[in-house]
Amino acid sequence: MTDTEKSDEYVRSPNAFTDRITADGSSGWPVEPGRYRLVVSLACPWASRALVVRRLLGLESALSLAVTDPIQDERSWRFTLDPDDRDPVLGIRFLSEAYLARDPDYDGGVSVPVIVDVPSGKLVTNDYPEITLNLETEWTALHRPGAPDLYPEHLRAEIDAINEDVFRDVNNGVYRAGFAESQPAYEKAVYPLFARLDELERRLQRQRYLVGDTITEADIRLFTTLVRFDAVYHGHFKCNIRKLAEMPALWAYARDLYQTPGFGDTVDFDHIKRHYYQVHRTINPTGIVAVGPDLRQWLTPHGRETLGGRPFGDGTPPGPPPADETVTPLEVAGSTAA
């Protein structure tokens, strides 16, 4: 491959702030209920991971939530969904303000999810792979009774290996296909994406979850890409060799998770579709939002119970989401006004 072709490939920027919040405080950021604020976009698959984990572990009262507008402007993520266009806890209009509070000289990208220290207003971390692992392993004293073990110690090596493959070929693969700037760069991404999906299809034909017989971090990371696949990645990102709905095991698996408390109740298709179709103007210059597919199919029976498995292991399902964290109903998200 030539240097010109290489430059046409999409390369994800590294996370700039990678501090951890630890139970013993040795990192300088101790776990404390109410001290930190999780900032997400409901459109973003990387942020959606943190939303699902926070719900499953019952951390809503310990870690408050800020939701950005799905439509960014030149200053990136903004709090225009809140009164006076400011986050009511942090008092800022743009997420970039928390980045600059941490590093006044920072001139990189502004990404979600992040965790912000409320007293100082400083960003703690935007390291999305570690945010969920941190919530699972360091915040255990604040987990709800009956919280599932999403990162069991005896399965971590297998979970990590699957996560690496899924990130490279699927989670990031859809972006590498969608933002490719040449035919060779696009094909270099799209063929491994579907090869990995085919491998996952075969794996999930024989077992309900990716690792073991319960939901783990691996399922959460795959789900947040699958739930966006037919709605945006298939058309908008040209990941159109097959639809998710044409891969029987993966489609049933995704519906199984969607219908599990803590998953579908964090998914807002309205935010997802408006963000991808209206923000990525280099891909979709008109900003027209596709009206399909029929999102009600996410509520159809999946039949995965026949494979056994215990979704929450020895734990229990989370309760309903807080009233102020409910998402747009599927009927609205699937309408022409989405």
Indicate which residues carry an active-site annotation: 44, 175
Exposure b/e, 243-278, CB count within 10 A at least 16 = b: ebbebebbbbbbbbbbbbbbbbbbbbbbbbbbbbbb
Q: Is 214 exposed, middle or buried (0-12, 13-18, 19+ CB in 10 A)?
A: buried
Cα dihedral 169/217/12/186 (nearest 10):
20
Residues whose CB falls within 8 Å of the CB of residue 307, separated by 6 or more in sequence, listed in order: 206, 207, 208
Q: Which two tokens stand for residue 64?
A: 């408050």
Exposure b/e, 137-170, CB count within 10 A at least 16 = b: bbbeebbbeebbbbbbeebbeebeebbeebbebb
CA gap 138, 16 in Å, rounded: 21
The H-or-E segment that residue 276 falls in is helix 269-279
Q: Which two tokens stand for residue 20?
A: 């951890």
- 77 marked ligand binding residue: yes
| Nearest Cα to Cα of residue 67 among 44, 40, 90 | 40
The H-or-E segment that residue 116 falls in is strand 114-117
Contact 76, 97 (CB under 8 A): no
Q: What residue numbers does the annotated binding site for glutathione cover?
A: 77
Q: What residue numbers does the annotated binding site cover?
A: 77
